[in-house]
Every structure is written in C-alpha cells, then in structure tokens.
C-alpha cells in the first residue's frame, strides 16, 4: 500500500458563505435576478449534456412511489453493496506525479486538437449549468428531479453558479470570491465525513465550481485553482473509498438501482475530474499521465441505463445489459493504449467489445471515446 499523504488546503480555508453581508455579492445576485430567462432555456437540450428538464409525467415518476430512486437508506446498504476495487489513495496523491516520477508511469501526450476538444466539451458542461439549462452528464437526473431530491451541496452549487451567467460589469472578481469561499467551506465540512451521498454531491459541486471558475470567470491557470484541484483529488479519494462499483456488478447480477446510480455517478465524476486536470496541466505547460490507478473501473454505462426514469425501465434495461455483457462490462482501461504483449486474437476481441459498447453509449461516453481513440488509437 502506498503511503497516504495528507493534503492541507490553506488557500481554501475560509468562513462560511453569507450573501446577506456582502455588498458585492448582493449586487451580483441582484444582477442575476434581473436577467431575463430565455423562453427556451428549459426546453432546449444540448448535444453533449444530459439535460435536467423533464415533462410532467417524468417528474411525477421521479418524485415519489416505488418507481423513483430512494436514497434515504443509502448508508444502511452502501457498506454491503458498494466496493472500492482500486487503491483510492493513489487518487489523492495524483498531483505528485508531475513532481515525483513513479516507476511505470506513462505520459499521456494529447495532440493539440484533442486538448482543444476536451477544453470545448468541458466548457459546455460549465455553460449549461451556469445557464440553468441542465446539469453536467456526471450528475444523475434523480439528483435534481425535484427540489427535495437535490442535496444541499449540489443545490447550493446550482444556485450560486447561476449568478455567473451574465454578471454585472466589474463583478466577476466578486463572483469568483463567492465560489472560492463556498468551495473552502464545503471542503472543510466534508473532509472526513461519513455520509456517502453527501460526499458524492460535495465532490460533484466542487468540480462544477472549479470548471465555472476556469471557463466562465477566467480564473485559470492560477495558484488557487491548482490548490483547489489538489483538494478536489483529496475529496475524490474520500468519495471513492465509499465504493466505486456495486458488489452485484462484480457478480454479474443486477444491483439495487440506488446503489448503481451512486456508483455510476461517482465514476463519471471521477473521469471528468481527470479530463479537467489534464486541461489545467496543458495550460500550465505540465505533463499529464495515464490514470493507471483507475484500471479496472467500468466505462460509462449505456444511455438506456443512465437515463432510465423509472425503476421498471432501469431493471429491464439492466437485464438486457446482463444478457449482452455476460463476461462483464467494458472497462475504462480497454480504451487505453493496446498492451505490447496483446496478440491478434486479443486485439480483435477488444475491438469487438468497444464496438459493442459504442452501440448504446450516451453522449458522455462518446466524448470520452473520442478523446481516448484520437490519443491512443486502437
């Protein structure tokens, strides 16, 4: 086991956010409130974003009854149903890779066009969130289906970033200060927390804050953002320790819907964090390395599974998934460079599995494949 390195966050330590006592923040919030809502803002989907808008029938199906996910008992079943198959400490220590070479470490040389592609995709995730037109594709629809379903770290985040859509002239610095302060407060509150769902929503919220600071408020590259990413990796480590896969997934059985949602959302958030970290590294002129610590994790799930709106719909889709993937779902490392010792038969089987995965994957998985294929080939 590698030595766990305790990462402190001095630049993130700050008092809790109190908008009523901040003149600049009041002015910023007032400006956001005066912005007219686009009539199509809740009806126009983005080709790269899983929108949060649903028709009334969908909202009803997500808001109550046995057909909607129920996370109230998550802590009861999470320890038994969620597992962490990787060394999560390597996630929190990832920032060291740039400065301390690790044996077997493989550089990840993105072509300039791929770096630009990642930049534009992640920028669209920040934009759609800031405009209130949906949520990034690492946030599951059930997390924002109703006001009561949205946990405080995430609900606070989705409210605060709306102020960054069209800030009043000269208020960008005030907006950035608000987000930075909220990140610091959130990190301190969740550090060492035991609530798995709270850790997930805190992880997602902090990643969204980082992307909004970078893409919308021009805060990067900066010492604060680099320190924020170090703290984010520490939070990702804590979140991952609570489980990244369902025990049933490893047994080729159908897991509980709620457990699967949590595991899949964690994996997607983790993959997105790694992509964003590579963008920051490119901006700073630093090398990036293959995330070998994630080896063995499942690649993003199919559109049918991720966007299922009822329990019955999801269970039906998962039964189909089990029939199609009798040997186990596609792993993220199957999208990485082809091992030098892989024979022709192994290569053909790998390509067949990737082709099969691409048949049903959603826009997020397609974007991830575009990055890996253009970088590693295969």
Per-residue pLDDT of 61-105, as tens digits, reads 333 345 888 877 666 666 679 999 999 999 998 877 777 767 777
CB 70 within 8 A of CB 258: yes
Does residue 107 surpass a pLDDT of 50?
yes
Does residue 324 surpass a pLDDT of 50?
yes
CB 126 within 8 A of CB 211: yes
What pTM was estimated for this model as a whole? 0.81
| pLDDT at site 148 | 67
- pLDDT exceeding 90 applies to what percent of the chain? 59
pLDDT band at 172 (very low <50, low <70, confident <90, very high): confident
φ/ψ region of 65 (left if φ > 0, alpha if ψ in -120 to 50, else beta) reads left
Does residue 256 surpass a pLDDT of 80?
yes
Please tell me the least confidently modeled range out of 45-59, 117-131, 135-149, 168-182.
45-59
Rounded to an integer, the average pLDDT of 325-346 is 95
Q: Which residue has the higher pLDDT, 166 or 24?
A: 166
pLDDT band at 10 (very low <50, low <70, confident <90, very high): very low
Please tell me the least confidently modeled range out of 253-262, 281-290, 349-358.
281-290
| pLDDT at site 373 | 95
Q: 94-128 b/e with 16+ CB inside 10 Å = b? A: bbebeeeeeeeeeebebeeebbebbbebbebbbbb
| pLDDT at site 149 | 66
Q: 378: which DSSP letter?
A: -
Rounded to an integer, the average pLDDT of 194-223 is 89
pLDDT band at 60 (very low <50, low <70, confident <90, very high): very low
Q: Which residues, listed in sequence order, are joined to residue 139 by a DSSP beta bridge?
A: none
Q: Can you tell me the distance from the alpha carbon of 223 to that of 294, in angstroms, rounded to the nearest whole number? A: 27
pLDDT band at 194 (very low <50, low <70, confident <90, very high): low
Rounded to an integer, the average pLDDT of 132-147 is 91
Residues 6+ apart with CB under 8 A from 175: 28, 163, 164, 167, 217
What are the C-alpha distances in Å from 248 to residues 22, 80, 364? 49, 10, 24
């Amino acid at each position: 086991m590698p030595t766990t390195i305790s990462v402190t966050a001095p630049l993130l330590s700050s008092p809790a956010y109190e908008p009523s006592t901040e003149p600049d923040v009041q002015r910023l919030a007032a400006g956001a409130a005066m912005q007219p809502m686009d009539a199509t803002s809740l009806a126009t989907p983005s080709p790269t974003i899983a929108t949060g808008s649903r028709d009334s029938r969908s909202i009803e199906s997500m808001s109550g009854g046995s057909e909607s996910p129920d996370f109230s008992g998550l802590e009861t079943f999470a320890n038994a149903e969620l597992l962490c198959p990787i060394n999560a400490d390597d996630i929190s220590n990832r920032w060291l890779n740039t400065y301390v070479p690790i044996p077997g470490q493989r550089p990840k040389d993105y072509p300039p066009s791929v770096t630009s592609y990642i930049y534009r995709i992640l920028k669209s995730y920040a934009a759609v969130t800031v405009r209130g037109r949906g949520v990034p594709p690492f946030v599951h629809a059930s997390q924002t289906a109703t006001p009561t379903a949205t946990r405080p770290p995430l609900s606070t985040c989705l409210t605060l970033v709306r102020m960054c859509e069209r800030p009043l002239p000269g208020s960008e610095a005030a907006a950035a200060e608000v987000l930075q302060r909220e990140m610091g407060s959130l990190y301190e509150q969740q550090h060492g927390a035991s609530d798995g769902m709270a850790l997930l929503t805190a992880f997602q919220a902090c990643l969204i804050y980082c992307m909004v600071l970078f893409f919308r408020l021009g805060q990067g590259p900066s010492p604060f953002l680099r320190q924020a990413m170090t703290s984010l990796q520490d939070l990702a480590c804590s979140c991952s320790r609570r489980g990244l896969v369902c025990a049933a997934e490893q047994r080729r059985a159908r897991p509980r819907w709620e457990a699967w949602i949590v595991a899949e959302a964690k994996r997607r958030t983790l993959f997105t964090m790694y992509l964003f970290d590579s963008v920051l590294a490119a901006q700073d002129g630093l090398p990036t390395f293959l995330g070998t610590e994630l080896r063995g994790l499942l690649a993003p799930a199919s559109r049918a599974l991720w966007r299922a709106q009822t329990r019955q719909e999801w269970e039906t889709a998962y039964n189909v998934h089990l029939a199609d993937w009798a040997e186990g779902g596609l792993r993220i490392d199957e999208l990485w460079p082809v091992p030098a010792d892989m024979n022709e038969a192994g290569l053909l089987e790998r390509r067949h599995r990737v082709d099969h995965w691409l048949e049903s994957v959603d826009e997020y998985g397609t974007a991830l494949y575009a990055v890996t294929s253009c970088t590693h080939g295969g």
